[in-house]
Amino acid sequence: MKRILGLSILIALLFQSCLKDNISSKTTIYRPVYKTKEEVRANIKSSAPVELTAPGKIYYKDGFAFLNELYKGVHIIDIRNVASPKNIAFVNIPGAVDMAVRGNVLYADMYTDLVAIDISNPQQVKLQQVLQGVFPQRYYPNFDNDTGKIIVDWQAIDTVLQEGEYFDWGLRREDMMFAMPAAAGGGTTNGTGGSMARFGLREDRLYTVDNTDLKVFDVSIPERPLYIRNVNTGNWGIETIFPFGNNLFIGSMTGMFIYDVTAKDLPKQIGTFTHARVCDPVISDGKHAFVTLRNGSQCQGFINQLDVVDISNLTKPTLLKSYPLTNPHGLSKVGEVLVICDGADGLKLFNASDVKNIRQTAHVKGMNAYDVIAWGTVAMVSAADALYLIDFSDPAKPVIKSSISINSPK
């Protein structure tokens, strides 16, 4: 019996060299598709309208909506007839995430560059100028990026990896970087951005923000933007910019910063309103600042609310009152009507005539609302499934007048 048992163990040990767990992994990796800058610039032109698939920030000017197609370009949509919007053209701008419009010139980022494009004729836009390397943070830090080339697309590759093999450098994972949200400001010749914007126009200056810096561009000659200076804010996690009056309201993960731009090329920080670490688009009506705070994987934090901040003394902004919300994103205000995108909880309209007693007047459900621009009695809402145009002539009974659906890739 002992001999048999010993022999069994011996045989088992003989198998040992081939006792292993093989793991083969079938997955999809994404490789960047590069083009040279020359090729990309030559290809910046408008095309026939294309389907909305991965929309980003929104912009409004003179009856036209500009909707960023993430990393691809900008849709131009004629919304002069709110009930019947027409997608009229697509401007191909690889790497575009932010935009602003002054006069007939569209400004957008093309990865590290700022491009100025004449959109007088949306069907035949013309590249006017490229300011190279003004957004150096837009390089992908995890790539061996050839500075002479630009990522214009991502190619999905199904692959099988055996245990011990690793993903090639072309792969980017969710945990490598943090997404940034985006709009721009008022003025007679400037368009209006959403509250998630990183580009803001005030008079003849374009201000842009990135994670830490504020940049100033002279756009007095719209088609010939001029880079003026970079202002290190001394803060991090900057997400949005909202120009109003002589001030810039900058939203960051840790607070709202107020800059005075009376001297337009020398922005000067004059006030700070700090809060817990969350994402916080901000808008202002001159008397108050309205800040939505939300949590999320990028934003961290555990707060979802609207903060109303008294800015009568710009150097000492003071919290007046907080209102609980579900997962607020972009917001906009027209007169007494405050419109807030509350994420998956839809769009909410409030009467903000008394900021200490803001009352919800309507709730539009069934949309995952991201950003909004309101003017007159119309709100343009960017949501996960569509771009909505909503008439709120009666703030208690908003009506969806039309929408353009988004066909997101699966």
Smallest gap, in angstroms, from Cβ of residue 191 to other proteins? 21
> Residue 181 or 330: which CB sits closer to other proteins?
181
Smallest gap, in angstroms, from Cβ of residue 110 to other proteins? 13
Residue tagged 């008079």 (tokens): 203
Smallest gap, in angstroms, from Cβ of residue 293 to other proteins? 20
Q: Which of 155, 249, 255 is nearest to 207 (CA)?
A: 249
> Residue 26 or 287: which CB sits closer to other proteins?
26
> Residue 238 or 352: which CB sits closer to other proteins?
238
Q: What's the CA gap between 176 and 335, in Å, rounded?
A: 42
The Cα-based distances of 9 to 1, 6, 58, 78 in angstroms read: 12, 5, 71, 80
Smallest gap, in angstroms, from Cβ of residue 179 to other proteins? 5
Q: Strand 255-260: give its sheet, edge to edge.
A: 238-244, 247-252, 255-260, 268-274
> Residue 110 or 306: which CB sits closer to other proteins?
110
Residue 72: CB atoms within 10 Å = 20
Long-range contacts of 231-234 (CB under 8 A, 24+ apart): 231/267, 233/209, 233/257, 233/269, 234/269
> Residue 16 or 188: which CB sits closer to other proteins?
16
Cross-strand pairs, 1: none
Smallest gap, in angstroms, from Cβ of residue 15 to other proteins? 4
Residue 22: CB atoms within 10 Å = 6
Smallest gap, in angstroms, from Cβ of residue 24 to other proteins? 5
Q: What is the CA radius of gyration of the chain?
A: 25
Report the SS3 class of residue 274.
Answer: strand
> Residue 138 or 401: which CB sits closer to other proteins?
138
Q: Which of 70, 224, 45 is nearest to 122 (CA)?
A: 45
Q: What's the CA gap between 2 and 48, in Å, rounded?
A: 84
Under the rule (CB under 8 A), what is the footprint of other proteins? Answer: 1, 4-5, 8-9, 11-13, 15-16, 18-28, 30, 54, 56, 70-71, 97, 140, 154, 156, 171-177, 179-181, 297, 409-410
> Residue 37 or 205: which CB sits closer to other proteins?
37
> Residue 147 or 297: which CB sits closer to other proteins?
297
At 118, the amino acid letter reads D
- Paired tokens of 239: 């997400």
Q: What's the CA gap between 321 and 348, in Å, rounded?
A: 18
Is 55:185 a contact under the CB 8 Å cutoff? no
DSSP state of 160: E
Smallest gap, in angstroms, from Cβ of residue 134 to other proteins? 17
DSSP state of 246: T
Smallest gap, in angstroms, from Cβ of residue 10 to other proteins? 9
> Residue 13 or 42: which CB sits closer to other proteins?
13
Smallest gap, in angstroms, from Cβ of residue 174 to other proteins? 4
